[in-house]
Structure 1
Amino acid sequence: MDIERALRISAAGMQAQTTRLRVVAENLANADSTGGSAGADPYRRKTVTFENRLDRAIGASTVRVRRVGVDRSEFPTRYDPSHPAADARGYVRMPNLDTVSETMDMREAQDTYSANLAVLETSRGMLTRTIEALRG
């Protein structure tokens, strides 16, 4: 039962980090997505919120995505009077995200996913060795 518990906890962590990676990828893909016309909103950064949840079947807490939300911070502006989304003063509202922060968030999600995968692989190996010992 403990190996099954470890497998399910790791799988939940991997699933949560997969969602996080998808959201970061969407943010990075839209880093330059401005509004189509003057006054239109550019892309708004998405965020992921996690929560612990008791999995009663295994009697342990697991992580899951609580929600995918949006960052309500202000949009930075850039002076580009020739842009179709420029206002009367020549400023374009840009997405409210920082590619360096998004890249670091992606790296952290990747590391966490890898750690959960290592636990999953180790648990699977222990289970395989136990079955082999019982056979033999």
Structure 2
Amino acid sequence: MSMFSIFNVSSSAISAQSQRLNTVASNLANVEAVAGPDGQAYKARQVVFQTAPMGPDSSAGVRVSAIQESQVPGRRVHDPNHPSADAEGYVSHSNVNAVEEMVNMISASRSYQNNVEVMNTAKTLLLKTLQMGQ
């Protein structure tokens, strides 16, 4: 693997983690969402990563292969006075777990930071190598 492919691998990971952070933000924004006009509540989304080839030197990076909706059933709260209540008086809420989403956010943020640090270290090493040749 060449030194330059490190930048490709890290940048692919940064891009993937950025998408993960955006998905987590969307999930957190909908924690308290109730069923919409179609009767369906918001479903939490999860990012699925996949290994991706990054060039002729057989290095591998990462890419987002899919964003899947969670199949966990949402909360149902008995509130017959709510405008979105069904015939039985239940209101369907999203299936987003705020604690899990915060853990996902911290994990994605740290992965993002680690890949930025990898790129900065590789840049520093390349600059030092150039300085040695002077």
Give TM-score scaled by structure 2 length.
0.91
Q: Distance in 1 between matches of 2:67 and 2:52?
A: 17
Give 1:105 shift. 0.6
Partner of 1:62: 61
Partner of 1:35: 35
Give the count of matched residue pairs.
134
Partner of 1:11: 11
Seq. identity, %: 30
Partner of 1:72: 71
Contact 1:36 1:84 in 2 (8 A): no
3-state DSSP of counterpart to 1:21: helix
3-state DSSP of counterpart to 2:39: coil
Q: Distance in 2 between matches of 1:102 and 1:30?
A: 11
Q: Which runs of 5+ in 2 are unaligned?
A: none
* C-alpha RMSD of the superposition: 1.5
Give TM-score scaled by structure 1 length.
0.90
User: Which amino acid in structure 1 is aligned with residue 53 of structure 2?
Assistant: L
Partner of 1:52: 51
Q: Distance in 1 between matches of 2:90 and 2:69?
A: 23
Q: Distance in 2 between matches of 1:22 and 1:132?
A: 40
3-state DSSP of counterpart to 1:67: strand
3-state DSSP of counterpart to 1:5: helix
User: Which amino acid in structure 2 is aligned with residue 23 of structure 1?
Assistant: T
Partner of 1:106: 105
Q: Distance in 2 between matches of 1:46 and 1:119?
A: 28
User: Which amino acid in structure 1 is aligned with residue 44 of structure 2?
Assistant: R
3-state DSSP of counterpart to 1:62: strand
Q: Which runs of 5+ in 1 are unaligned?
A: none
Partner of 2:121: 122
